[in-house]
Amino acid sequence: MKNFLKNIAYDFGYIFTNYFIAYIPFWSIRKLLYKAEGMKIGRGSRINMRCIVMAPYRITIGSNTLINEFCVLDGRGKLNIGNDTSVSMYAKVYTATHKSYSESFEYITKQTVIKDNCWIGASAVVMPGSVIEDFTIISVNSVFKGESKCGEIWMGIPAKKVRKRQTMDKYKLKNNIWWR
């Protein structure tokens, strides 16, 4: 009975977060509800509509960070996203998976970290346990797993380092939203 009630509570929370909060057209209300669920969101940051958020109470987002529409943010294994970072449309950031070689399809979680001034391209996938250092770009449609170094550009499936990023100056991401 205890597991049944726990599953009902989890399902209700998932449905409320992803089929109610995610469709509220006003950021200030969505932000208030995400924070009420335990998500830490820095000043000037924004999560656009229609994002899937799992375990919001284990997600921390820094200041001036933009999460665009249709993204997936998985907090089950703990997710930290730094300041002035852009996560483009349809990008997915995971912190949980299953062991493919496990006979019981064992469920595992690993903390995922995206640091400051990063750019996660449209439809990119960041796998559980990844650490993306400052100024790193994960290119469009790439699948990144592992650790980057500061200022690298990664692309492909699986993502490979292709070159260093030209800028290493800290910048402030401008969301250009006048009603914040």
CATH of the domain at 138: 2.160.10.10
Residue 98 pairs with which residues in a beta bridge?
107
d(CA 50, CA 151): 30
Q: What is the pLDDT of residue 176?
A: 53
Q: Would residue 175 count as lying in a domain?
A: no
Q: Would residue 79 count as lying in a domain?
A: yes
The alpha carbon of residue 63 and the mean position of all alpha carbons in its chain are separated, in whole angstroms, by 14
* DSSP one-letter code for 147: B
Tokens found for residue 7:
């599953």
**pLDDT tens digits for the chain (180 residues)?**
778 877 887 888 899 999 999 999 999 999 999 999 999 999 999 999 999 999 999 999 999 999 999 999 999 999 999 999 999 999 999 999 998 888 899 999 999 999 999 999 999 999 999 999 999 999 999 999 999 999 999 999 999 999 998 877 777 777 655 444
Range of the domain at 118: 2-164
Q: Would residue 127 count as lying in a domain?
A: yes
Q: What is the pLDDT of residue 166?
A: 85
Our count of domains for the chain comes to 1
56 preceded by a cis bond (ω within 30 of 0):
no
Q: Would residue 177 count as lying in a domain?
A: no
* DSSP one-letter code for 22: G
Q: Would residue 22 count as lying in a domain?
A: yes
| pTM (2 d.p.) | 0.91
Contact 46, 27 (CB under 8 A): yes
Q: Would residue 63 count as lying in a domain?
A: yes
Q: What is the pLDDT of residue 179?
A: 46
Q: What is the pLDDT of residue 31?
A: 97
Neighbouring C-beta atoms of residue 115, cutoff 10 Å: 19
Q: Would residue 173 count as lying in a domain?
A: no
d(CA 63, CA 157): 30
Q: What is the pLDDT of residue 178?
A: 46
Residues 6+ apart with CB under 8 A from 106: 98, 99
Q: Would residue 108 count as lying in a domain?
A: yes
